[in-house]
Structure 1
């Protein structure tokens, strides 16, 4: 699994080494081919027939299977690709599900501090508690399969920017008294900012029919 995903990673149910057994590390072309093929096939199949039970199974995938099942396929993909976008969205969902209290704290702080339309674009209620944040991230993921894919990516990017703002401001609050906690929050803010940029770029590529 890539370094950028470790912060959002929870204990897995399958050994990470399975990926290397299935797709040899010395053959990155094969890894890339499988990642892109599976992501495109999944999205095409569901969007052609977006029945509620299938969509709900995909939304709850990480709850049932952990994240390694996806890591085996998508975690090595470049950020601005279809599998890279799906990987980041599932990691974002996993982060919120694993610690909705912290997510709500960061989101509310970011919403107050951020002078932009991002909270409106993300679409969370005001104020947004833990349950509302879980529902929001699931709704964003559901939108990938049922709605406008680019809009879902843009909502996810806005969500990341709000969270990053909250993490940055909380890091400043803790800098003098709890520097270790401040450092963790700063790292999260930087990662979320990167994710926001990646997802926004993927949305633009999708609108040009260039996200592969």
Structure 2
């Protein structure tokens, strides 16, 4: 199981529902894009292991609020929007690695595509493997091929979406509320996957802003 957090951290009630507001949309957009570009360029130019590990562990130590205030309202297919989604995926796994692994394994068995291979989880993928995968994807943002990290996050999202969809079908008659929650999660993860793949294509074309 993943290590416990070092101190209490305020979490949003739902990883995919909470959006943090800003005062002026134009100012918020400028801050989002400038901080994302500054952070990524600085770390990737000199990816010191200690700095990268601090960024990977940031939400565990400080919560999601700081990152959300910077990037949550950015367009999905932008640099800050992509970074926000990868951090959300990592936090989703860290908060409930057991559920993530159950959903992932179901999706891996059901999905007829290369996504499980692209995502890079071992077989089978238990809770510890899920945490390691989420951290590895985020780490790749800072010290690897950024487009590959985005594609891996997209594939991971598709596998999870597939698993959530099939589990929702299983619970439809016996636990309809749980089925609805899983269906909603699957839809959002599918959207994440499309947005992250699009961001990867923009990055390769030099048009991700």
Establish whether TM, by shorter chain, passes 0.5: yes
Aligned mates of 1:64, 1:93 — CA distance in 2: 13
TM-score (norm 2): 0.91
Alignment of 1:17-36 (within 5 A): 20=22, 24=23, 27-36=24-33
Q: After TM superposition, which residue ranges in structure 1, 4 or more long, deviate above 4 angstroms?
A: none
Q: Alignment partner of 1:7: what SS?
A: coil
Q: Is 1:182 aligned with 2:182?
A: no
Match of 2:54 among 57, 77, 100: 57
Alignment of 1:21-100 (within 5 A): 24=23, 27-100=24-97
Aligned mates of 1:33, 1:203 — CA distance in 2: 21
How far has the Cα of 1:8 moved from its partner?
Answer: 1.4
Aligned mates of 2:52, 2:162 — CA distance in 1: 31
Q: Which has the higher helix share?
A: 1
Q: Is 1:8 aligned with 2:11?
A: no
Quote the residue 2:128 is aligned against: 131
Aligned mates of 1:75, 1:114 — CA distance in 2: 29
TM-score (norm 1): 0.90
Deviations 1:68-107 (A, max 9, x none): 0011110110000000000000001010000000000000
How far has the Cα of 1:151 moved from its partner?
Answer: 0.3
Unpaired runs of at least 5, structure 2? 1-11
Q: Conserved in 1, the CA contact under 8 Å of 2:115 and 2:156?
A: yes
How far has the Cα of 1:127 moved from its partner?
Answer: 0.3
Q: Conserved in 2, the CA contact under 8 Å of 1:55 and 1:142?
A: yes
Aligned mates of 2:70, 2:191 — CA distance in 1: 21
Match of 1:105 among 102, 106, 113: 102
Aligned mates of 1:180, 1:65 — CA distance in 2: 32
- Alignment root-mean-square deviation, CA: 1.7
